[in-house]
Structure 1
Amino acid sequence: MVRVPNFKLIAKGKDITKTIKKELIELSFEDKEGSESDEISFRVNGIYQKPFFGDSLELWLGYGDELFKCGKFSVQTTETDYTANTTEVRATAVNFASPIKVKKSRTWQDTTLFTIVKKIADENSLSVKIAGDDFNVSSKLQDNLSDLDFLYGLCFELNYLMAVKNGAIIVTSKDARSDELGSKVTPKNKALPKNEIRLSECHTLRISSANRNVYNATILEWQDSESGKTKSIKVGSGNNAYKMRIAAPKSDAEAFKIGESKLNELQRGGINGSLECDGKEVKAGGKLKLIGVANYEDVEFSIKSVTHTLNNTTYTISVEFEG
């Protein structure tokens, strides 16, 4: 059975799918983990009226009537090629004209990560999707940073995934390597999307392993305000430890969380890979298992980015992942 690639595109509440599909050259959707904004672009034959900066777009992708929603986006740029007679539109999941990109300076004290997320979302007229356990934040300075950059940095430091997608700030805890770290600060996050791709489905599949001197522990040191003495804590086991100075934490759990996040960062990237296959719903930030791939059947990879590319006859995805 031949599956026919399909999409739906809504602009400011109006369905423009038929108009775009008739002249479509290529449509793409870039789904990214981390601070980079998701982006869609489409290139069509013909000279079209320039959409307004910030105009809203909603995109669905798939086959036939089975479509999944990619999200909401705001128009950022348009490019018209008058010699080739084509128009290209690019839009991002974050409206870069919105207040979330305005730099601010303020201090967050005696609060929690999820409370900060909810306040920033409310200030920027965004909804919130959170998963995993909340975490206490004793004191954190937002020093001339936009809400987006500050929140991403804070989540990265505390070992959480953060993104702005479909009009919502999404924050979820990463999986902890609790067996290795011995800290058990972050429980295994069952909310992360899981994906399986078989070797037989792949048009291309490449995996590289780096022989690195990987740290197996972190040692955190800070100045205790009451005693004036230097305190320290170790996360993980082994002699190859990475040492770092931190501001005085509110608790040992907070120090463990910072050390755990740093150790996860140091241990990531030993295995990197990419694949291309027929289009399907695969999400950045989720987990990937490769079926039928020798030496990697038991490895659960983290998905860094997914690029969806569609025209009127083909639909493929390119996935970058790491372990």
Structure 2
Amino acid sequence: MSKTRRKSVSLVYNGTEAYSELAQYLEQITYTDSVDESDMISLDLLDRDLKWRNAWIPKNGDVLIPSLTLEDWNYEGEKMTIQCGSFIVDDFGFSSPPARGSINGVSAPVDTGFKGTENTKTWEAATVQLIAAEIAGKYGLELVYEAKDISVAKTEQDKKADSDFLRSICEKYGLGLKVFYNRLVIWDYSVYSARTPVITITPDMCSKWSYRSSMQGTYTGARVSYRNPKTKKTVDVMIGTEGRLYKTNQKADSEADARLIGEAAIRNANRKESTMQLTLPPKFSLMATLTAQLQGFGQMDGKYFIERVTHQIGRASYNMQASLSRIPDGGAEGAAAPSGTGTGGTYIVQKGDNLWDLSQKFYGTPLRCKDLYNANKDKIEAEAKKHGKASSNRGYWIWPGTSLNIPS
């Protein structure tokens, strides 16, 4: 006889395991794992003996650390646990009759200044990674940086909370940001979208699904301007193609910076062009920032980026809702059409170029930078030696004037 499926919850409240005592009051726990906003936890409870509004009343700033466990769910002997992270209580309320309450928390460092304190600072000759590292260190967070480092000539934090300021920089350059378990994680959407799918989902796995595709708010190209330091003139840089053109007021530091900003703007807008909403039993392999393969949905089949996953755990139920965005065939999600000279020719390296950006320019994805290096290895290494380097560090250093072959 097979064992009965079991679900369990652990809830550490201000350092003390509290679920066993709280369970009789809890009607539902909702945990949301998201890409575009902070992760959230919500506790819906009954307050029939009035403990919560009196001795147990929570305080803003209380710390919740929940985890979810499934046992014997798919096969006998199976045990899976999700560590949801650390949450700060930022909202709670009670009502009657009937006597009910809700406690809501958001993923954040224990130091609430990360989201709540406005700061002013000017950053010069920095990088995104350096800025992120300084802010992470300020709140005792470990920085996990999974993207190419990007130079920032000058940027101003003008009466902004550190979380808002850092998120605005990440959005500007097409990077994602997430606070999870005392870690500040920053990643490149195009790299994460290229990951192998963690699961294949078919219609029979879902109790409900809906698909939506819209051209509204999507773009084929972008125009970004920068000021040429030599001529002192404003130069417009076109990324992608004419058609549905995105125009931004953001000023770039250079042509390379303008391309990064434009490509990020297009990618951010186009990520939601085609979306899928799924309701299904719990699948712990579904997590925000990963990818999934949809199969059996007809023309809607394909690879999708997982934008958000919501777990709803009731007394006798457990369901998940997943929001996914489709990744275009053959490229990172929302990538602009390749700009520049195209493939199969040659390109003369300009000041500020690097293989990561050139791969994005010619192929619509930075992931083929290794192909560019391998096709030009002898030239690149010869230039490195000419400039006094022992090697190019596999293409990390390239020099203006080098003629590169662009493989198809």
Give 1:90 shift. Answer: 1.6
Counterpart pick for 2:66 among 56, 59, 68: 59
Total equivalences in the alignment = 309
Q: 1:255-298, CA deviations, whole angstroms, 9 ceiling, x for partnerless residues?
A: 21111101213323221221101122222233232122111222
Greater RCO (CA < 8 Å, at least 6 residues apart): 1
Identify the residue that residue 226 of structure 2 maps to in structure 1. Answer: 222
* Segment drifting more, 43-52 vs 114-123: 43-52
- State how far apart, in whole Å, the 2-side matches of 1:129 and 1:305 are: 20
Alignment of 1:13 onto 2:15: yes
Change (3 A) 1:316 1:103: same
Identify the residue that residue 45 of structure 2 maps to in structure 1. Answer: 44
- State how far apart, in whole Å, the 2-side matches of 1:52 and 1:188 are: 37
Q: 1:138-166, CA deviations, whole angstroms, 9 ceiling, x for partnerless residues?
A: 11111111111111111001000012222
What is the SS of the residue equivalent to 2:299? coil
Alignment of 1:73 onto 2:87: yes
Identify the residue that residue 169 of structure 2 maps to in structure 1. Answer: 154
Q: 1:153-182, CA deviations, whole angstroms, 9 ceiling, x for partnerless residues?
A: 11001000012222221110111xxxxxxx
Identify the residue that residue 269 of structure 2 maps to in structure 1. Answer: 266
- State how far apart, in whole Å, the 1-side matches of 2:252 and 2:90 are: 42
- State how far apart, in whole Å, the 2-side matches of 1:246 and 1:10 are: 44
Give 1:12 shift. Answer: 2.1
- State how far apart, in whole Å, the 1-side matches of 2:15 and 2:296 are: 44
- State how far apart, in whole Å, the 1-side matches of 2:91 and 2:140 are: 23
- State how far apart, in whole Å, the 1-side matches of 2:197 and 2:100 are: 37
Percent of matched pairs sharing the same residue? 21
Change (3 A) 1:60 1:233: same
Identify the residue that residue 178 of structure 1 maps to in structure 2. Answer: none
Change (3 A) 1:239 1:23: closer
- State how far apart, in whole Å, the 2-side matches of 1:156 and 1:146 are: 16
Counterpart pick for 2:287 among 283, 290, 296: 283
Say which one has the larger Rg.
2
Where does the alignment leave 5 or more consecutive residues of structure 2 unmatched? 72-78, 327-408
Q: Within 5 Å, give how 1:197-208 maps onto structure 2.
A: 197-208=201-212
Q: Within 5 Å, give how 1:173-192 maps onto structure 2.
A: 173-175=188-190
Change (3 A) 1:225 1:41: same
Q: Within 5 Å, give how 1:293-304 maps onto structure 2.
A: 293-298=297-302, 300-304=303-307
- State how far apart, in whole Å, the 1-side matches of 2:245 and 2:93 are: 51
Identify the residue that residue 182 of structure 1 maps to in structure 2. Answer: none
Q: 1:52-73, CA deviations, whole angstroms, 9 ceiling, x for partnerless residues?
A: 3212111111313421101111
* Segment drifting more, 239-248 vs 262-271: 239-248
Question: Does the CA-based 8 Å contact 1:224-1:248 persist in structure 2?
Answer: no
Counterpart pick for 2:134 among 116, 119, 123: 119
- State how far apart, in whole Å, the 1-side matches of 2:217 and 2:170 are: 26
Counterpart pick for 2:104 among 90, 108, 122: 90
Counterpart pick for 2:185 among 159, 170, 179: 170
- State how far apart, in whole Å, the 2-side matches of 1:148 and 1:211 are: 31
Q: Within 5 Å, give how 1:225-236 maps onto structure 2.
A: 225-236=229-240
Question: Does the CA-based 8 Å contact 2:217-2:269 persist in structure 1?
Answer: no
Question: Does the CA-based 8 Å contact 1:291-1:297 persist in structure 2?
Answer: yes
Higher helix share: 2
Give 1:192 shift. Answer: 9.0
Change (3 A) 1:166 1:109: same
Give 1:43 shift. Answer: 2.3
What is the SS of the residue equivalent to 1:25? strand
Q: So what's the TM-score if we normalise by structure 2?
A: 0.69
Identify the residue that residue 312 of structure 1 maps to in structure 2. Answer: 315
Change (3 A) 1:169 1:192: farther
Question: Does the CA-based 8 Å contact 1:62-1:279 persist in structure 2?
Answer: no
For the aligned residues, what is the CA RMSD?
Answer: 2.5
Question: Does the CA-based 8 Å contact 1:93-1:167 persist in structure 2?
Answer: no
Change (3 A) 1:53 1:33: same
- State how far apart, in whole Å, the 2-side matches of 1:244 and 1:43 are: 42
- Look up the equivalent residue of 1:37 and give its one-letter code: S
Change (3 A) 1:241 1:85: closer
Where does the alignment leave 5 or more consecutive residues of structure 1 unmatched? 176-186
Change (3 A) 1:246 1:66: closer
Question: Does the CA-based 8 Å contact 2:193-2:290 persist in structure 1?
Answer: no
Give 1:87 shift. Answer: 3.7
- State how far apart, in whole Å, the 2-side matches of 1:73 and 1:219 are: 40
Give 1:97 shift. Answer: 6.8
Give 1:14 shift. Answer: 1.6
- Look up the equivalent residue of 1:202 and give its one-letter code: C
